[in-house]
Amino acid sequence: MATKLTSRESDYSKWYNELVVQADLAQHSDVKGCMVIKPYGFAIWERMKDVLDQMFKDTGHVNAYFPLFIPKSYLSKEAAHVEGFAKECAVVTHYRLKNAEDGSGIVVDPDAKLEEELIVRPTSETIIWNTYKDWIQSYRDLPLLVNQWANVVRWEMRTRLFLRTTEFLWQEGHTAHETSDQAVEEARKMLEVYADFAEGWMAMPVLKGVKSANERFAGAVDTYCIEAMMQDGKALQAGTSHFLGQNFAKAFDVKFATREGGQELVWATSWGVSTRLMGALIMTHSDDAGLVLPPKLAPIEVVLVPIYKGEEQMAEIVGALQGVADQLKAAGFRVKLDDDDSKRSGWKFAEYELKGVPVRLAMGPRDLAGGTIEVARRDTRSKEIVPMDGIQSHVKGLLEEIQTSLFDRAEERRTSTTTSVDTWEEFLAALEAGGFVEAHWDGTSETEDLIKKETKATIRCIPLEGNEETGKCVRTGADSSQRVVFARAY
């Protein structure tokens, strides 16, 4: 436990940074741009990973592992890809160190220079498609539905814990298909998986859409995305799923024998979410007292805290709470009984609030005598006294209610900050107010660039479920066939 957090209102960015560190989620390391994910933060990521992994397996995917290093020349094989990824990356040039001749320490051995430099993977399309070439001969080998959990490195100048770090953890799905339609269907299916995860587990409502050409993944034909809205009115891209067409198959010469006996290039997708989701989770729900976690992803769903004076009371109350804890554990809840005698109960209350534990049960001598227990919920910070009898079903109902309520609250906020505008003045005002801005756009990259330059807003997505309403571009007045969603973004 540390000092009080800066409030969101006074400095949202500072609040976030303090919260991440003080709630023991992550910290900066001495290696520029790289973070340490602390055990409590990692426990949340592990839960996210386990759930997503099961969702991938349920949709027919298997895991594999490909090398960390990519030969420099591979990046150049797909023309658009190299523009997007070959710039800011970690380059391995040598494979040996040696003792300095002047005894001053160790130095790079100039004799151990690699013939071709290796890039620490910023994403794995190239190394994977170079491998798929061996794996795919015939339509019988398709679809190939593979996922990888891995670390990747993109050299970032300005980093923020979880949101933008030089090294981050992620999963990257890479699939191969017989037809364009099947690949598009896969890319859309995985977008739905991401949306289901975001909404059903993270309690974070998302917009589903497709990126404009400017925001597309380097090497993709289409990039689908889910976009979430943070409390400060800025959007956050929470996951992307790419239809890659035949671009990588062409670059790595991956062809298959078709059902008709011909040879055709394979159709591809890739899709990923990363530890950035941790940032989205934190910013969607948390408040000035600290982290707020949806029960489904909380490493601890229920914490039990005894309130007592003296050893005799302590033994009685801890004993009673142990019974409740055992009962809840047996029912499958993730539970912690904090009977550490070296910390005061007030300290513990603040600590578990900071850490976002959804439900706190506290018991004092009066509760023990009366057969009651105090139940506090983290999201609303409300408390009530309930009978010990039936505590299990009460807790169960409460956790479900918190999960739903967090989603509803986030959705309410998103809806209330989403504005539909028709003029440039309205557009600017809506951007200043924060939130998603639905506006007509003439469909050109030039206009998008111009708007970005003038306002720092980007097109977050062209909604998949948008109405085919015609109108005039908010910036140029040219014709538009559909409103798109703008926002300033992380």
Residues near a copy of itself (CB under 8 A) are 27, 29-31, 34-39, 42-43, 45-46, 62-73, 75-76, 82, 86-98, 105-106, 108, 117-120, 127, 130-131, 134, 140, 146, 150-151, 153, 155, 167, 169, 342
Q: What are the φ/ψ torsions at residue 110 (nearest 5 degrees)?
A: -65, -20
Token match 């990259």: residue?
Answer: 445
Task: State how far the Cα of 466 lies from the Cα of 468, in Å rounded to an integer.
Answer: 6
Q: Give the nearer residue to a copy of itself in terms of CB position, either 52 or 406.
A: 52
Q: Give the nearer residue to a copy of itself in terms of CB position, either 148 or 403.
A: 148
Tell me, rounded to whole angstroms, the distance of Cα 374 from its chain centroid: 34
**Cis check: omega of the bond before 143, within 30 degrees of 0:** yes
Tell me, rounded to whole angstroms, the distance of Cα 42 from its chain centroid: 13
Task: State how far the Cα of 306 lies from the Cα of 115, in Å rounded to an integer.
Answer: 64
Token match 């992307």: residue?
Answer: 240
Minimum distance of a copy of itself from residue 391's CB (angstroms): 26
- For the purposes of burial, counting CB atoms within 10 Å of the CB of 261, is it exposed (0-12), middle (13-18) or buried (19 or more)? exposed
Q: Give the nearer residue to a copy of itself in terms of CB position, either 62 or 450.
A: 62
Minimum distance of a copy of itself from residue 230's CB (angstroms): 24
Minimum distance of a copy of itself from residue 412's CB (angstroms): 34
Q: Give the nearer residue to a copy of itself in terms of CB position, either 339 or 438.
A: 339
Q: Residue 385 corresponds to which amino acid?
A: I
Minimum distance of a copy of itself from residue 205's CB (angstroms): 28
Q: Give the nearer residue to a copy of itself in terms of CB position, either 54 or 380.
A: 54
Q: Give the nearer residue to a copy of itself in terms of CB position, either 35 or 474.
A: 35
Minimum distance of a copy of itself from residue 298's CB (angstroms): 15
Q: Which helix (H) or strand (E) segment is 427 a member of? A: helix 424-433
Minimum distance of a copy of itself from residue 39's CB (angstroms): 4
Q: Give the nearer residue to a copy of itself in terms of CB position, either 27 or 481.
A: 27
- For the purposes of burial, counting CB atoms within 10 Å of the CB of 204, is it exposed (0-12), middle (13-18) or buried (19 or more)? buried
Q: Which of 46, 50, 89 is nearest to 68 (CA)?
A: 89
Minimum distance of a copy of itself from residue 8's CB (angstroms): 26
Tokens in use for 99? 């003792």
